[in-house]
Chains A and B, each alone.
Chain A
Amino acid sequence: MWTKPWNMREGFLLGGGLLLVGLLLQVTLGPIDWSLPAWPVNLVLLIFLLVVIGVMYALRRKVYAFEWMMHSGAAVPCLVYAAGLTVLMGLLPQVRMGGVPWLSQMLQFWPFVLIWTWMMVISALAALNHLLRWKVKEIPFILNHLGVVVAIVAATLGSADMQTLQLTAFTGEAEWRAVDETGRMVEPGIAIELRQFTMEEYPDHSPKRFASDVTVYTKDGKNVSGIVEVNKPLKVNGWKIYQYGYDVMRGSNSSYSVFQLVRDPWILWVYIGIFMMLAGALCLMFFMAPKPVKS
Chain B
Amino acid sequence: MSWDSFVWFALGAVLLWAAGAFFAWKERKALVYVCTLAGIAVFFAFILGMWISLERPPLRTMGETRLWYSFFLPVAGIIVYSRWRYKWILSFSTLLSLVFICVNLFKPGIHSKSLMPALQSPWFAPHVIVYMFSYALLGAATVMAIYMLIKKKSTEKEINLTDNLVYVGLAFLTFGMLFGALWAKEAWGTYWTWDPKETWAAATWLCYLVYLHLRKAKPGEWKFACIILLVSFVCLQICWWGINYLPSAQGLSVHTY
Contacts and interface: CB of A to CB of B under 8 A. Distances in A.
B171 A284 contact: yes
Given A242-B188, A281-B171, A207 B116 contact: yes
B216 A278 contact: no
B175 A290 contact: no
A292 B164 contact: yes
A279 B143 CA distance: 29
Contacts of B160: 290, 292-293
A231 B118 contact: yes
A184 interface: no
A94 interface: yes
A137 to B, nearest CB: 16
A91 interface: yes
Given A73-B218, A230-B187, A231-B120, A285 B171 contact: yes
Contacts of A162: 190
A206 B120 CA distance: 14
Given A86-B202, A87-B235, A206-B114, A76 B174 contact: no
A71 B214 CA distance: 11
Interface in A248-295: 260, 262, 264, 267, 270, 274, 277-278, 280-282, 284-285, 288-290, 292-295
Nearest to B188: A242
A285 B167 contact: yes
Interface stretch (B18-26, B27-35, B64-72, B178-186): B178-186
A33 to B, nearest CB: 17
A132 to B, nearest CB: 20
B150 interface: no
A214 interface: no
Contacts of B210: 76, 79-80, 83
25 contacts: A73-B217, A79-B210, A86-B202, A87-B235, A90-B199, A90-B203, A90-B238, A90-B249, A93-B248, A164-B190, A202-B113, A208-B115, A230-B118, A231-B121, A233-B186, A242-B187, A260-B189, A274-B182, A278-B174, A280-B174, A284-B174, A285-B171, A289-B163, A292-B164, A293-B156
Interface of A: 7-8, 71-73, 75-76, 79-80, 82-83, 86-87, 89-94, 107, 155, 162, 164, 202, 204, 206-210, 229-233, 240, 242, 260, 262, 264, 267, 270, 274, 277-278, 280-282, 284-285, 288-290, 292-295
